[in-house]
Amino acid sequence: MKKRRLLWIAATLVLLLGAGYAVLWLTGPGHRINALSFERIQEGMTEKEVEEILGVPAGDYGTKAHPELTVLPLGDRKRWTSDDAQIVVDFDKRGLVVLKRLGFVRVGESIWQKLRRWLRIN
């Protein structure tokens, strides 16, 4: 009887943890604007390739006001901003990456954002 009860408790706990992880994953941001994605951007890439890495076209996907990363432009500048990071990419006349910069934003994370970051669900 005790073994059966422990088995039910363990199964319920595993089910609840799995459901919680799924909820965090499903309610996460639809972009990948973060330091890991920034590292994947290379000189010579097209804007489309950069968008595939970051998951969205250039724009502000943050939920809070944040400071802008200010640098002198070297060409056509595109900016991707989230609550975690700001990625600025300059493209040359052919539309290829010539320079990239990363600024960290992280302004007042909610507990859910912290959980997603800790569990690497971005």
Q: How many CB atoms sit inside 10 A of residue 95's CB?
A: 12
Residue 84 confidence (pLDDT):
79
Q: Dump pLDDT digits (tens) for 49-73.
A: 999 999 999 998 877 666 666 666 6
Contact 56, 34 (CB under 8 A): no
Mean pLDDT of 85-112: 83
